[in-house]
Amino acid sequence: MAWSQLLHLGDLSLTLPAGAAIAAWLLAAKAWRAAFGWSLVFALALALVAATKIAFLGWATGLPALDYKAISGHAASFTTVFPVLTFLLLRAKGTMLRLTATAAALALGAMVAAALVHAGEHTAAEAIGGWLIGAGASVCAVHLTGDVPAPPPRRAMVCCLAAWLAVAWVLRSASVGYWMIKVALVLSGNHYPTPWDHCG
């Protein structure tokens, strides 16, 4: 897989439906506490990314010395979702295999972060920040979902598919970037957002 293809694994159009499918799987298993915990952890990770982007767009925050503007959403969302997805998919396997595969998914998240830097989409500081947020969130989520029993297969499939399709459909008609700019302008009172090529 080329570097340019690897970075797309962190796109919100993929990770947000996958995150919703995880929540649906946990609900299908009637693991209410784990479903709430996962949803909260995932939402907080995404909110933190969005807050840094809104802050930069509205107030030109950042750390010029590190060439940092905002946390990488691709790195954060991939590293939040896919280690947890891996952990749940291997639920019936041994603990060692589950943890090894989850660690491999975290390493793949680091490769996604590196691909973003290689492609010039983010600086190292932004990509590392995203990976750290995602890794912290996924470790918390793995802890919350560690002993969840498998739901009935048919119910799980229907719930996951419905959640995936619903979120994917919403994302088709909602431009996340557009709404972040609108929020940044409303909160800051500025007429124009800070351009991404400006830092400090």
CA dihedral sign of residues 112, 118, 119, 122: positive
State percent of the chain over pLDDT 90: 72
Question: Is 85 within 8 Å of 14 (Cβ atoms)?
Answer: no
Phi (first) and psi of residue 189, to 5 degrees: 80, 5
Is residue 135 in a domain? yes
Question: Is 113 within 8 Å of 80 (Cβ atoms)?
Answer: no
Is residue 55 in a domain? yes
Is residue 130 in a domain? yes
Poorest-confidence range of 28-32, 125-129, 146-150? Answer: 146-150
Residue 191 DSSP one-character state: S
Segment 166-175, tens digit of pLDDT:
999 999 888 8
pLDDT at 62: 81
Is residue 96 in a domain? yes
Is residue 197 in a domain? no
pLDDT band at 94 (very low <50, low <70, confident <90, very high): confident
Segment 12-51, tens digit of pLDDT:
999 999 999 999 999 999 999 999 999 999 999 999 999 9
Task: Quote the number of domains for the chain.
Answer: 1
Is residue 196 in a domain? no
Is residue 154 in a domain? yes
What is the C-alpha end-to-end distance of the chain, expressed in Å? Answer: 36
In this structure, the number of other CB atoms found within 10 A of the CB of residue 78 comes to: 33
Which two tokens mark 50? 């969005």
Residue 62's Cβ-side half-sphere holds a number of Cα atoms within 13 Å equal to 26
Is residue 194 in a domain? no
Which two tokens mark 124? 């190292």
Q: Which domain holds residue 129?
A: 3-188
